[in-house]
Amino acid sequence: MTRPSFHRILLKLSGEALMGDSAFGINPETVARMAAEVKAAKEQGHEICLVIGGGNIFRGMAGAAAGMDRAQADYMGMLATVMNALAMQNALEQIGVETRVQSAIKMDQVCEPVIRRRAERHLAKGRIVIFAAGVGSPYFTTDSGAALRAAEMKCDALFKGTSVDGVYDADPKKVAGATRYETVTFNQVLASDLKVMDASAVALCRDSNIPIVVFNIREPGNLAKVLAGEGTATVVQNKE
pLDDT in tens, 78-113: 999 999 999 999 999 999 999 999 999 999 999 999
* Residue 178 contacts residue 29 (beta carbons within 8 Å): no
Q: Report, as an integer, the average pLDDT of 201-225.
A: 94
Q: What is the pTM of this model?
A: 0.94
pLDDT tens digits along 127-158: 999 999 999 999 999 999 999 999 999 999 99
DSSP single-letter state for residue 51 = E
Angle at 35 between CA 171 and CA 225, to 5 degrees: 60
pLDDT value for 211: 97
The rounded distance, in Å, linking the Cα atoms of 92 and 100 is: 10
CATH fold group of domain 8-237:
Carbamate kinase (3.40.1160)
pLDDT tens digits along 186-210: 999 999 999 899 999 999 999 999 9
pLDDT value for 22: 85
Handedness of CA 32, 35, 40, 43 (dihedral sign): negative
Run of H or E including 32: helix 28-42
Per-residue pLDDT at 4 exceeds 80: no
pLDDT tens digits along 33-84: 999 999 999 999 999 999 999 999 988 888 888 889 999 999 999 999 999 9
The rounded distance, in Å, linking the Cα atoms of 99 and 81 is: 16
What is the residue extent of each domain of the chain? 8-237
The rounded distance, in Å, linking the Cα atoms of 83 and 91 is: 13
The rounded distance, in Å, linking the Cα atoms of 98 and 118 is: 15
Percent of the chain with pLDDT over 90: 80
